[in-house]
Chains A and B, each alone.
Chain A
Amino acid sequence: DVKVTQSSRYLVKRTGEKVFLECVQDMDHENMFWYRQDPGLGLRLIYFSYDVKMKEKGDIPEGYSVSREKKERFSLILESVSTNQTSMYLCASSLFTGYEQYFGPGTRLTVT
Chain B
Amino acid sequence: KNEVEQSPQNLTAQEGEFITINCSYSVGISALHWLQQHPGGGIVSLFMLSSGKKKHGRLIATINIQEKHSSLHITASHPRDSAVYICAVSYTGNQFYFGTGTSLTVIP
Contacts and interface: CB of A to CB of B under 8 A. Distances in A.
Contact of B94 (A4, A40, A48): A48
A39 to B, nearest CB: 9
Given A100-B33, A100-B48, A90 B43 contact: yes
Given A40-B100, A103-B44, A56 B86 contact: no
A40 B98 CA distance: 11
Given A41-B100, A42-B100, A98 B42 contact: no
Nearest to B33: A100
Given A99-B48, A101-B45, A48 B95 contact: yes
Contacts of A64: none
Contacts of A97: 93-94
A45 interface: yes
Nearest to A45: B95
B22 interface: no
Most buried by A among B30, B88, B90, B94: B94
Interface in B10-43: 30-31, 33, 41-43
Contact of B90 (A40, A56, A98): A98
Contacts of A102: 45
Most buried by A among B92, B95, B101: B95
A33 B94 CA distance: 9
6 A-B pairs closest in CB distance? A98-B90, A103-B43, A42-B100, A43-B98, A105-B42, A42-B98
Interface of B: 30-31, 33, 41-45, 48, 86, 88, 90-96, 98-101
